[in-house]
Structure 1
Amino acid sequence: MSLPSSVRLFEVGPRDGLQNEPGPIIATATKIEFIHRLAAAGMTHIEAASFVSPKWVPQMGDAAEVMAGISRRPGVVYSALTPNLRGLEGAIAAGVEEVAVFGAASEAFSQKNINCSVAESLKRFEPVLERAREANVRVRGYVSCVLGCPYEGQIAPAKVAEVSKALHDMGCYEVSLGDTIGTGTPLAAKRMVEAVSREIPVTQLAAHFHDTYGQALANLYAVMEEGIQVIDSATAGLGGCPYAKGASGNVASEDVLYLLEGLGIRTGIDLQAVIDTGYWITAELGRKPSSKVALAKGCVGA
């Protein structure tokens, strides 16, 4: 299959990128400014917050304040993670128009992450999807460990397809396939997407790859050849997974954009503006971006 002519980037930096940030709680104003800069750079889909218990994810404890403080741009979707009904109600009250739920393709990861089996986790999502439909809120589904698990090792593509289909059948408009520990390689990524796309149209799938082993860009190229047109990424390569030992950040938005531009694939996003934003947010966090492209090109704005 040929490469797509355009790709939609789903920016997860403000949520997935910041949720496990060590040290002091990041100021709400900083999170809001980060989101504003991403939208100004041309990002049309930004995961802005997570409505979870502050006890478990302290950095996301101000989700309602973040959503209230955003100056919303027309044409930009500001979504939030909602693992349960309580989180969804908080998101609805905050005016969120799209939420996400997350499952796993690995039984062991599901137990370690959310203390239940894969089947039980999917059952828990049913009332969330039902309430979201009532509130006219779109729901996106995440599947973790699609190319490997820190506890089980390799994951069968058929298992990924099974969990993805369950989320799709429940009503998720899009299913994001997450290489949580970044161990995937291009052939494995292709075979996984082939298996899932037999159950769900490939136009309703997204790739969410971590770069632990330096394979994320190669894997993204491979799955774009299979028809993937939506890529999750985090500016400056922020993020990781507390349950995945050694997992480095998400693939950097800057690196993905450089790849896409080189392939002549349209995104509508200003690469330099994203690079500048990456330098700004990492300066706020006291370090430099992990994006190779950002480090090579440098920052030209504030």
Structure 2
Amino acid sequence: MPPPRAAVTHSAAQLLLSAFVSPVCFNQVCQQDADRAFLLAVAVPLLAAAAVVSYLMRSPPAELTDSGRVFEDPSTGTRFEAPEGVVPERDKNGELAFRPISYTPWPVDEGVEGERVRLAVGPVGSRQLRTYVFARVLPVPSDILTVTLPRPLGVVLEYEERFRRATVVDLIEGTYADQRRKKAALNSDLVKDAVLPGDVLRAVTATNFVYPTRALFGAAPPERHIHYCLRLFLITQVVYGADKQSWSSICGALKRGEARDGDVTLVLERRRPRPPKEPRDGSALDIFA
């Protein structure tokens, strides 16, 4: 006669509970039950994790691959599916061009409006240039530029809640950023290499640890990568796009990295200077007349 269902349920509950509460066994039967419960508690989560990884890493349908709608970025290992009739933009090397949205690089349509910026990403010792696209967000004529600085940056930012963006308001005296601003004040050719008050932060580089699959099981050490913040997916290099992000998220991106990881690149949008107003007819006098 099989045991009652309640007894079976109670026995199973005790078996699982014993995996987390180390029992004091005084006989072989008790020890076997404890070992069995421990193996069960370890095996079930591992099998579930393996099933999830297998599902996520499954190959796309053959019809999508054959049609060219599904493609993979070899540098990031990320697969993308393009809507029917849409062609993703690629640079002269055949690499995908991205628009950074928070921690995620999104491929862009071919010929989409925006400024193309080349940024170095990848392992700290062997970075590669990739193309990122930034559409202008200011309602006035502006330019997209990049400024590379060593840590600490010495840049003071203020968050505009209304527009959900960070703007440069000051530079700390004596820092590299401050020195460049002072040189730019004397030489207009250096303005493009300096951070100025009023610049809007569009993206920033950061460093983080990226764990390849082998490193998760202790077969390889974690690799230190520079990227534009971390997308928690193996060896992925992305750009942290600051547009419409929270102040805490932007601060977190700015803090990621150490001086030994190299310089930091800021992607900024700057208002163009207003052209001088021309005097109206008759309003200017010729002092040599």
Q: Same fold (TM over 0.5)?
A: no
Larger radius of gyration: 2
Higher relative contact order (CA closer than 8 Å, sequence separation 6+): 1
Structure with the higher helix share, 1 or 2: 1
When normalised by structure 1's length, the TM-score is 0.25
